[in-house]
């Protein structure tokens, strides 16, 4: 069964606007971690933000924030004030009880295109 679901294959956003990329997850482990990565066209995977299941507050890193709704099992990425350089693939990933060696389960990704 798929553990990470990203329902938006592609999205467009106007430059300087905010955008939300959806991610839902499935786990029975009370202890887990959620990650977002960015992959520009050059191919490298860039770590953006992390949320632990026991964290009381939503994670933020600069223009990135994670809207963590535990009861809904969702971990949406919010990018504020979009820039042209934000155009990339974005992957949500989770580490749960099966990931004691740091294994991550990745979603299929969302391709974000920022329009000038």
Interface with another protein (CB under 8 A): 6, 9, 31, 33, 35, 37, 42-45, 47, 50, 52, 91, 93, 95, 99-104, 106-109
Count Cα atoms within 13 angstroms, Cβ side, for 113. 6
Task: Provide the pairing of β-strand 46-52 with 105-106.
Answer: unpaired
The least CB distance from residue 15 to another protein, in Å, is 26
State the Cα–Cα distance between residues 43 and 18, nearest whole angstrom.
24
> Beta-carbon neighbour count of residue 62 at 10 Å?
9
Residues whose CB is less than 8 angstroms from the CB of residue 43 and which lie 6 or more positions away in sequence, other chains included: none
The least CB distance from residue 54 to another protein, in Å, is 11
The least CB distance from residue 43 to another protein, in Å, is 4
Question: Is the CA virtual torsion 64, 97, 5, 109 positive or negative?
Answer: positive
Residue closer to another protein by CB (options 15, 26) is: 26
Residue closer to another protein by CB (options 17, 61) is: 61
Residue closer to another protein by CB (options 3, 73) is: 3
Residue closer to another protein by CB (options 43, 116) is: 43
């Amino acid at each position: 069964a798929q553990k990470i679901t990203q329902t938006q294959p592609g999205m467009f956003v106007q430059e300087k606007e905010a955008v939300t990329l959806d991610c839902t997850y499935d786990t029975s482990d009370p202890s887990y971690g959620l990650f977002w990565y960015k992959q520009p066209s050059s191919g490298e995977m860039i770590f953006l933000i992390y949320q632990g299941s026991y964290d009381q507050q939503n994670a933020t890193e600069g223009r990135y924030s994670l809207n963590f709704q535990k009861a809904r099992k969702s971990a949406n990425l919010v990018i504020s004030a979009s820039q042209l350089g934000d155009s990339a693939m974005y992957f949500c990933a989770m580490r749960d009880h099966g990931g004691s060696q740091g294994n991550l389960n990745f979603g299929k990704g969302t391709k974000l295109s920022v329009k000038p």
